Amino acid sequence: MRFLRGLVTLAITVCVALLLVAIAGYGSSRSVADQRDRKAPAKVFQPFGWQQTVENSPPGPATVLVSGDGWGMRGVTYRAKVAVVGGTGVYRTQRYRTDVEAGEDVLLSPDGTLIADGFPRPVPRASGSTAPASTGNSDPAIWFTDLESGKTSRMTVPATGTARPVAFSPNGRKILVQVASPPEHGPWNGGELDLMDLATGEVARLADLGTAPVHRAQLAAFSPDGRRVAVQIGDSIHVIDVQARSSRLLARVGPDRRIAGVGAWSSDGNRIAVATMSGCSKRCTSDDLDDRTWQIDELDAETGAPSTGSFDRLTGSAVRVLGQTDDGELVVVRYRASGDAGIDGTGEFTVDGDEADETDYRAVHEAELLGLSPSGKRRTLLTLPPGSRHVDVAGQLIVEDRFGGDSSRPMPWPAPFWVNLGAIVVLLIVAWGVFRIRRLTR
């Protein structure tokens, strides 16, 4: 009996010690570094399944967003969760009732202070309570979540259809928005491309995207000064003057070439990166998709003429450029296809027989974040947790090449009420057990 009593005492001591370590670790991770010196971590870990939300415990400016199929990024009540890695190393989650893709329909602002998405959520009233997002207005809208306060705001678009964010301007003050009627399955048809001013709420229409399906991962990109937007309309790339609202044809690129992503412009604003795909285009399995080759070259932003030099080729089902460093290195997401993805005999990309976009949640098995230098060198910029399918990085960190920072593991606290309640119940049961054993031994 004395042995049993000692064993229970040891168990209590271990539990309390682990709790104190978790709390202490959480506290220390918040003081890792000044936000001005923050870097994207060298490695992102899987968040806890109960990781506290952005709304209930704001993490401050974030460095990275990750979404995927890991146990910490899926849920029961909420279908998907985006892991939000704060600049001080803390982990939080943004939760959704549908599959989402970080960096494509859930965007991180360049300074890491805002998350933009097109998914309805409760919006705070003046009294501090919340009301359903659909109350009072059925216009398409974009929701913005402040990572410093946890509060959500809603901005509408005077159009018909559904809105989704495309890209933040480099200073974070404006955002490109696509408005279209999404199909039940498959890529969105063009619709329109709008420019939203976050300070005034003003919305201006920049381009008619037509009626053909678009590749949302390679749809449009801001120039570094925010004055121009490159947009792909069908097989052509256009450059739009944001102030004058004027558009000019830059180049016709064909069906297998496209703007390389939201970070396609060079840091000096003189060139635009385009990705050219070669490989299987009909009756392709997922293995065939992963064997496709992507060559990233650049076009002169004024003439559309090919620029000299190119970057190392990549294989994969798709690629997407998030940005370029001041030294000219491309920050690229490489995607691997899920086992259910393929291309049918008509050339349509499908998942389980349904039309899909190449970077849809169900079409991707995993993603990598790579750096490609003009000299041909390649490096892994960020190690993602197992099951990661999509990633986004704060634009300012990309431009200044701030990668390889400290990698903090997520801490279990702060946690939702039910987790705290469960921990208290367990401790009470253990304490009651100790009390009973001590009484019996007497």
Q: Is the pLDDT of residue 26 over 60?
A: no
Nearest of 378, 404, 396 to residue 323 by alpha carbon: 396
CB 316, CB 294: distance < 8 Å:
yes
Enter the tokens of residue 437: 């054993």
Q: Is 271 exposed, middle or buried (0-12, 13-18, 19+ CB in 10 A)?
A: buried
pTM summary value:
0.89
The answer for residues whose C-beta is within 8 angstroms of residue 393's C-beta and 6 or more apart is 40, 63, 64, 65, 108, 322, 323, 331, 369, 382
Exposure b/e, 164-183, CB count within 10 A at least 16 = b: bbbbbbbebebbbbbbbeee
Cβ pair 269, 242 in contact under 8 A: no
How far are the Cα atoms of 85, 252, 330, 402 from residue 274, in angstroms, in the given order? Answer: 30, 12, 12, 24
Mean pLDDT score of the chain: 88
pLDDT tens figures, 299-323: 999 999 998 777 989 999 999 999 9
Confidence of residue 8 (pLDDT cuts 50, 70, 90): low
DSSP SS3 for 173:
coil
For 30-42, write each residue's pLDDT tens digit: 433 455 678 999 9
pLDDT of residue 122: 65
Q: What is the pLDDT of residues 95-114, one digit of tens each?
A: 999 999 999 999 999 999 99
